[in-house]
Amino acid sequence: MCHERPDTLKHLLLECRFAQTIWSFINNIIRKFTSYPITPDIKLHLAIPRELQLLENLLTFLITATRHAIWKTRNQTYYEKRLTTPDRVIKSIIRSIKYKNTMESRKTRSIHADTLQMLVAEIEKS
Would you write out the chain's pLDDT as a tens digit for each of its 126 residues? Answer: 667 777 888 888 888 999 999 999 998 888 888 888 888 888 888 788 877 776 777 788 888 999 999 999 999 988 999 889 999 999 999 888 888 877 777 765 555 666 777 777 777 777
Q: Give the per-residue pLDDT at 108.
A: 54
Delimit the domains of the chain by residue range.
9-125
Q: Give the per-residue pLDDT at 102.
A: 79
Q: Give the per-residue pLDDT at 39.
A: 84
CB within 8 Å of 30: residues ≥ 6 apart: 38, 59, 62
d(CA 21, CA 25): 7
Q: Give the per-residue pLDDT at 21.
A: 93
Q: Give the per-residue pLDDT at 107.
A: 67
